[in-house]
Amino acid sequence: MDLITGDIVSRISYKHDLLFRISSISKDHATLHGKDLRLEVDAPLSDLVLVEERDLVKKSKKEKEQEEFSYRLFRQDYQFMKEKRDYQATDGYHHEASYFHLPAKVLHIDGDQNYLRKCIELYQRIGLHVHGVYLNEKDMPLEIGALVEKIQPDIIVITGHDSFSRNKGTKSDLRAYRHSKYFVETVREARRIVPQLDQLIIFAGACQSHFESLIRAGANYASSPSRINIHALDPVYIAAKIAYTPFMEKVSVWDVLRNTLTGEKGMGGIETRGLLRTGMPYLEDSSDE
């Protein structure tokens, strides 16, 4: 069967462990993007098998269940944070109070249009205001400056595809990674504009990315400490945790990671202040009749 761009395939040599979408085909090789993981690899066409519809439905159902479980964990966490804010705003429920929040603004830059769409849907479901931008990873360092100046975000997510290749070097060699160097340059440029770690929160990286270089460049959170694959939606949960934590509170790294689908092997970072600011009183919009 002839394979075409957009087909969902698996690799024979890896015992069909992951699902990929064919991004492009050149002669007898294809560039593959993980269907649900932020991984980019090359593979010979002879190693690829088209995934049958019934298998795709089965695996998609399992993936959806994992995503829903992670979302429920976040909702539980969000509810706890909300009850804590209510308690503090009412002086331990002794007074009635109407208050409002100044929402955090997220700039999400993604190297995959499909992932970007899924992430924006989750941001909206969670209730976060997001500016989503699709950019090729190589163009991110060139575009980030203008985007920061224009949007003035509180949180930046810099992600897309990545992978580590042992044939190109050791795990400590940035040249052995497909796109890590571009993520690093993008973080460094954003930090040149806003140096303070608590004024602009940055997540950067994708599957198997060079975690140490991203943190050194100025990211608050990054992937991937154990060089494993991360889920396409993981950066959203990190952004959401920071956005809904009061700015007077520090967020421990574990508190951020526990709602992700990947956990501490795929994500890491430094403790960071939250961004949520509460004000009062809340005045309902009214006009004279």
Tokens in use for 62?
């399992």
CA distance 104 to 214: 23
Q: How does residue 256 score in pLDDT terms, banded at 50, 70 and 90?
A: confident
Q: What percent of the chain has pLDDT over 90?
A: 62
Structure pTM? 0.86
The Cα–Cα gap between 116 and 120 comes to 6
- For residues 268 and 46, give the distance between their C-alpha atoms in angstroms, rounded to a whole number: 37
Tell me what the pLDDT averaged over the chain comes to: 89
| Closest by CA position to 64, among listed 121, 14, 112 | 121
Q: Dump pLDDT digits (tens) for 75-88.
A: 887 787 777 766 66
Decide if pLDDT at 94 tops 80: no
How high is the pLDDT of residue 93?
58
pLDDT for 246 beyond 60: yes
Report d(CA 67, CA 121) in Å as an integer: 13
Cα 142 from Cα 146, distance rounded (Å):
8
Mean pLDDT on 209-225 = 97
* pLDDT score at 259: 74
Q: Of all helices (H) and strands (E), which one includes residue 157?
A: strand 155-159
Mean pLDDT of 247-275: 87
What's the token pair of residue 181? 């160097």
Identify which of 114, 88, 118 has the alpha carbon closest to the alpha carbon of residue 101.
88
**Residue with the two structure tokens 């203008």:** 146
Per-residue model confidence as pLDDT tens digits over 175-201: 999 999 999 999 999 999 999 999 999
